[in-house]
């Protein structure tokens, strides 16, 4: 066979294999047996082995076998991956419907009802019909590149069918089918390996494997539930038509989606699925109700990170009975005194529950809980376990009431109750327990990421008086550290290096680290994009903040309250004097627009003067964006030595290829 014949045969085989793969894994109606399928695959493999240059990353032979990664790269979601508001009762659902119909001026709009699969959200990108990139949800704005792992999922098409647009991004849920999960655990058990608790967490762990060959051993599956982006004039009109269109491209769409004309029909769907859940081979924790018309969705828009046009109507949670052994207290990082229940360990929905939050004294009283009670505990999806009620019939008289102490269990300060709040607070801003929580948070992975500072070390530094607020972390003296128990010279060195390194963290990380209530990574990035520096944020009033997209009253009040406190401003000053980044690194040239504003770069090959991270940081510093793979929206491919397949990809998509030197010229003088 010559090269040309081989190329033709390969194209033919790939089309045939993709089709049978689709019939088997998506439609569940195979037309050929496993033996015949394997024969086609091995013929394709043989020809590809003879002509390795004809192998493409989307060939069905390339679903497995890629080399392990060292880490995942970050991917920013052009269209954020949103969450859903919740409804827990028919009344909640009806209230949601009524709110929307007054906004839409239509009292009779239709809804798409779908199941709410309890797996992991993923985003899949296609260029010219080929699967080029897949990502996790992450914080909704940035996720991780898990393309290689997703390619191992047979129901994810590597090549689209039918009339596909040039670029397409879809969202869906990856899950571990229950039957496969049971087989997988049984096999592990036989091999003397530990077994896994539930399909969801195992699916999550499988998607985060650096070696995709491990993922390939876990038969994951997917349902696609939305279209994020496509460049096409096709007007799809409604959610259900969109899903039908995606089905025509080869995506796996759940067969149980329906159109509901009113809330009664939604409730019927919800009720019938509560009864039929066991018939499904995947876990669902509710249904998702979506306004069907896309123009209505557009009009309704999103609030915070939730679309107004959709809501999750949850199923009642899984419950179990156990004993409430004790009620203990935690001091939160904001000073709130949080009672929690110590439970006789019990399994609920595949997870062992030992503790449950009790929120505050009012909560304990409203549930009439006594220490020693039999209680019903429940866990709904990812929600923290809760105590639903106590079983008063089982009381023996030996049960005892819990009383909130008058003083902080950590520092002895008299506790206060704030107006309109059920929580009890310790207002001592130097309370060691509060500080312990805060330091733990400050040094945590998603915050300043100071290795060696969390846990025992942080606590010991606080207890020995070396840290009185988080800013003190940056003024620790080597001599004092070396005097502490279990702190050898080496650990001190490492700790000081980690602290110094953390000074380079961008201001959005610093803002998260301060532990301001309601300010997580997503909101923090958004605020620094908007205000460019922490000082600008300090200067903001409620009104300015409220005019910021995605910022509601809870967030704006929390920020103004935090920066309104002189103690906090002192800490901020100290952090500034330690040399921490308070200003977004994006360079704003005199015209006020960052130099590489929103230009998208991909870097490939070995560079002469920079490491990969250095060049990426530099691009970001000048306002550019870095992606890990070339797509139509890439502006420049910055290529060094041995650029590999990205060069061909860039040439094909007519993306401009530049050298390191070209790049330096671009940013010269800045």
- Supply the residues annotated as catalytic: 116
Return the number of the residue (85 or 533) whose C-beta is nearest ligand IVH: 85
In the complex, minimum distance from the CB of residue 273 to ligand IVH, in angstroms, rounded to a whole number: 12
Comparison of 206 and 226: residue with beta carbon closer to ligand IVH = 226
Q: Which stretch binds ligand IVH (CB under 6 A): 80-88, 126-134, 314-322, 410-418?
A: 80-88
**Is residue 442 close enough to count as binding ligand IVH by CB under 6 A?**
no
Q: Which stretch binds ligand IVH (CB under 6 A): 113-121, 143-151, 505-513, 578-586?
A: 113-121
Q: Is 578 exposed, middle or buried (0-12, 13-18, 19+ CB in 10 A)?
A: middle
**In the bound complex, what is the minimum distance in angstroms from residue 552's beta carbon to ligand IVH?**
18
Scan for tokens 């089918």, then name that residue. Answer: 177
Q: Give phi and psi for 336, each to the nearest 5.
A: -70, 140
H-state helical runs in 3-89:
3-25, 34-50
Direct distance between the N- and C-terminal alpha carbons of the chain, in angstroms, rounded to an integer: 57
Residue 549's CB: how many other CB atoms inside 10 A? 9
| Cβ proximity to ligand IVH, 80 vs 624, nearer residue | 80
Q: Is 580 in the site for ligand IVH (CB under 6 A)?
A: no
> Measured from the CB atom, is 77 or 137 closer to ligand IVH?
137
Q: Of 288, 435, 447, 492, which lies in the binding site for ligand IVH, with binding defined by CB under 6 A?
A: 288
CB of 301 to ligand IVH, least distance (A): 11
- Regarding 84 and contact with ligand IVH (CB under 6 A), the answer is yes
Q: Which residues pair with 539 in a beta bridge?
A: none
Q: Does 116 bind ligand IVH (CB under 6 A)?
A: yes
Quote the CA–CA distance of 492 and 487 in Å, as a whole number: 6
656 φ, ψ (degrees, to nearest 5)? -70, 130
Which residue's CB is nearer to ligand IVH, number 140 or number 372?
140
Looking at the Cβ atoms of 56 and 302, the one nearer to ligand IVH is 302
State the CB neighbour count (10 A cutoff) for residue 270. 21
Q: Does 184 sit near ligand IVH (CB under 6 A)? A: no
Is 226 a binding residue for ligand IVH by CB under 6 A? The answer is yes
The least distance separating ligand IVH from the CB of residue 204, rounded to whole angstroms, comes to: 12
Q: What is the DSSP string of 292-321?
A: SBHHHHHHH-EETTEETTEEEEEPPPEEEE
Q: Which is nearer to ligand IVH, 121 or 132 (CB)?
A: 121
Contact yes or no for 296/323 (Cβ under 8 A)? no
What 3-state DSSP class applies to 183? helix
Using rule CB under 6 A, residue 294 touches ligand IVH: no
- Min dist CB 116 to ligand IVH, Å, is 4
Token couple for 85: 């508001």
Question: Which three-class secondary structure string do you get for 141-159?
Answer: CEEEECHHHHHCCCCCCCE
Q: Which residue lies nearest ligand IVH, judged by its C-beta?
A: 121
Measured from the CB atom, the residue of 173 and 436 that comes closer to ligand IVH is 173
CB of 112 to ligand IVH, least distance (A): 9
Which one of residues 18, 114, 472, 508 is an interface residue with ligand IVH (CB under 6 A)? Answer: 114
Residue with smaller CB distance to ligand IVH, 125 or 137 = 137
Q: Is 135 helix (H, G, I), strand (E, B) or coil?
A: strand
> Measured from the CB of residue 111, what is the shortest distance to ligand IVH in angstroms?
12
Which residue reads 């000053």 in tokens? 573
142-144 and 416-417 strand pairing = unpaired
Q: Got the DSSP string for 234-246? A: ----BHHHHHHHH
Q: Which is nearer to ligand IVH, 522 or 660 (CB)?
A: 522
Please state, in angstroms and rounded to a whole number, the distance separating the CA atoms of residues 13 and 19: 10
**Which range touches ligand IVH (CB under 6 A), out of 111-119, 261-269, 367-375, 576-584?**
111-119
Q: Is 154 in the site for ligand IVH (CB under 6 A)?
A: no
CB 41 within 8 A of CB 30: no
The site string for ligand IVH over 25-64 (x = CB under 6 A, - otherwise) reads: ----------------------------------------
Separation between Cα atoms, residue 245 and residue 163, nearest integer Å: 9
Nearer to ligand IVH among residue 230 and residue 310 (C-beta): 310
Say whether residue 121 binds ligand IVH (CB under 6 A): yes
- Helix or strand (DSSP H, E) at 482: helix 478-482
Backbone φ and ψ for 577, nearest 5 degrees, come out as: -70, -20
CB 494 → ligand IVH: shortest distance, Å?
38
Which positions from 123 through 152 interact with ligand IVH, judged by CB under 6 A?
Answer: 137
Given 25, 225, 402, 601, the residue binding ligand IVH (CB under 6 A): 225
Per CB under 6 A, the list member of 37, 97, 117, 313 interacting with ligand IVH is 117
Kindly provide the b/e burial profile for residues 91-124, where b requires at least 16 CB atoms within 10 angstroms of the residue's own CB: eebbebbeebeeebeeeebbbbbbbbbbbbbbbb
Binding piece for ligand IVH, criterion CB under 6 A, among 110-118, 178-186, 439-447, 645-653: 110-118
- Print the binding letters for residues 300-319 with ligand IVH: x by CB under 6 A, - otherwise: -------x--x-x-------
Instruction: Report how far residue 136's alpha carbon sits from residue 130's, in angstroms, rounded to the nearest whole number.
Output: 19
Give the total of residues touching ligand IVH (CB under 6 A). 15
570-579: long-range pairs with CB below 8 Å, 24+: 571/469, 571/470, 571/471, 571/514, 572/471, 572/534, 572/538, 574/469, 574/471, 574/472, 574/474, 574/475, 575/470, 575/471, 575/474, 575/510, 578/471, 578/474, 578/475, 578/503, 579/474, 579/503
The span of 34-42, 77-85, 206-214, 565-573 binding ligand IVH (CB under 6 A) equals: 77-85
Residue 280 within binding range of ligand IVH, rule CB under 6 A: no
Q: Which of 229, 180, 228, 171 is nearest to 202 (CA)?
A: 180
Task: Considering the complex, state which of residue 47 and residue 81 has its C-beta at the smaller distance from ligand IVH.
Answer: 81
Contact segment (CB under 6 A) with ligand IVH among 115-123, 205-213, 242-250, 472-480 equals 115-123
Q: Which residue in the block uniquely carries the two structure tokens 């940013």?
A: 667
Q: What is the largest CA-CA distance in the chain?
A: 89
In the complex, the smallest distance separating the C-beta of residue 295 from ligand IVH, rounded to whole angstroms, is 16
Binding segment for ligand IVH (CB under 6 A), chosen from 112-120, 231-239, 399-407, 655-663, is: 112-120
Closest CA relative to residue 386, chosen from 96, 85, 88, 175 = 88
- 83 makes contact with ligand IVH (CB under 6 A): yes
- Could you tell me the smallest distance in angstroms from the CB atom of residue 264 to ligand IVH? 21
Min CB(34)–ligand IVH separation in Å = 31
Interface pick for ligand IVH out of 23, 82, 583, 667 (rule CB under 6 A): 82
List interacting residues with ligand IVH (CB under 6 A): 82-84, 114, 116-117, 121, 137, 173, 225-226, 288, 307, 310, 312
């Amino acid at each position: 066979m010559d090269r040309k014949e081989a190329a033709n045969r390969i194209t033919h085989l790939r089309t045939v294999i993709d089709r049978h793969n689709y019939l088997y894994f998506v439609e569940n109606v195979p037309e050929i047996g496993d033996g015949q399928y394997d024969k086609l695959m091995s013929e394709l493999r043989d020809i590809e082995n003879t002509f390795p240059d004809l192998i493409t990353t989307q060939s069905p032979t390339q679903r497995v076998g890629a080399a392990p990664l060292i880490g995942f790269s970050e991917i920013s979601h052009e269209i954020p991956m949103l969450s859903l508001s919740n409804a827990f009762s028919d009344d909640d659902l009806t209230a949601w419907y009524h709110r929307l119909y007054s906004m839409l001026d239509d009292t009779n709009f239709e809804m798409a009802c779908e199941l709410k699969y309890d797996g992991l959200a993923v985003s899949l990108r296609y260029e010219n019909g080929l699967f080029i990139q897949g990502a996790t949800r992450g914080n909704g704005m940035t996720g991780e590149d898990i393309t290689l792992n997703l390619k191992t999922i047979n129901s994810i098409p590597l090549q689209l069918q039918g009339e596909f647009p040039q670029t397409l991004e879809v969202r869906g849920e990856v899950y571990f089918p229950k039957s496969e999960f049971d087989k997988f655990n049984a096999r592990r058990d036989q091999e003397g390996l530990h077994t896994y608790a539930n399909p969801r967490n195992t699916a999550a762990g499988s998607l985060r494997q650096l070696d995709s060959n491990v993922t390939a051993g876990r038969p994951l599956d997917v349902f696609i539930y939305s279209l994020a982006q496509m460049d096409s004039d096709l007007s799809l009109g409604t959610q259900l038509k969109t899903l039908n269109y995606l089905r025509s491209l080869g995506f796996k769409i759940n067969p149980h989606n329906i159109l509901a004309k009113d809330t009664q029909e939604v409730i019927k769907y919800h009720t019938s699925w509560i009864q039929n859940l066991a018939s499904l081979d995947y876990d669902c924790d509710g249904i998702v109700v979506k306004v069907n018309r896309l123009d209505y969705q557009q009009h309704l828009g999103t609030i915070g990170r939730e679309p107004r046009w959709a809501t999750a109507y949850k199923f009642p949670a899984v419950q179990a009975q156990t004993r409430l052994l004790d009620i203990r207290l935690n001091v939160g990082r904001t000073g709130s005194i949080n009672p929690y229940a110590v439970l006789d360990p019990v399994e609920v929905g595949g997870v062992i529950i030992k503790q449950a939050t009790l929120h505050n004294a009012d909560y304990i009283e409203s549930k009439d809980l006594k220490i020693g009670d039999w209680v019903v505990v429940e866990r709904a999806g990812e929600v923290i376990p809760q105590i639903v009620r106590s079983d008063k019939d089982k009381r023996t008289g030996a049960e005892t009431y819990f009383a909130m102490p008058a003083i902080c269990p950590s520092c002895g300060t008299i506790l206060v109750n704030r107006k309109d709040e059920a929580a009890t607070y310790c207002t001592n801003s130097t309370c060691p327990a509060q500080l312990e929580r805060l330091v733990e948070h400050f040094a945590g992975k998603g915050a300043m990421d100071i290795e060696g500072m969390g846990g025992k070390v942080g606590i010991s530094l606080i207890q020995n008086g070396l840290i009185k607020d988080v800013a003190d972390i940056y003024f620790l003296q080597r001599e004092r550290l070396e005097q502490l128990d279990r702190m050898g010279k080496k650990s001190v060195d490492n700790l000081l290096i980690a602290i110094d390194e953390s000074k380079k963290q961008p201001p959005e990380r610093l803002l998260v680290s301060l532990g301001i209530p309601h300010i997580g990574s997503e909101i923090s990035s958004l605020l620094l994009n908007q205000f460019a520096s922490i000082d600008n944020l300090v200067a903001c009033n409620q009104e300015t903040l409220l005019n910021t997209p995605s910022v509601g009253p809870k967030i704006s009040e929390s920020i103004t309250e935090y920066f309104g406190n002189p103690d906090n401003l002192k800490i901020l000053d100290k952090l500034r004097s330690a040399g921490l980044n308070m200003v977004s690194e994006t360079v704003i040239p005199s015209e006020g627009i960052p130099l590489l504003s929103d230009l998208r770069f991909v870097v490939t090959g070995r560079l002469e003067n920079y490491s990969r991270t250095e060049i990426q940081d530099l691009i970001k510093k000048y306002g550019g964006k870095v992606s890990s793979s070339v797509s139509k929206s890439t502006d420049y491919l910055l290529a060094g030595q041995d650029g590999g397949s990205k060069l061909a990809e860039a040439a094909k998509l007519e993306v401009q290829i530049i050298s390191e030197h070209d790049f330096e010229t671009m940013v010269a003088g800045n």
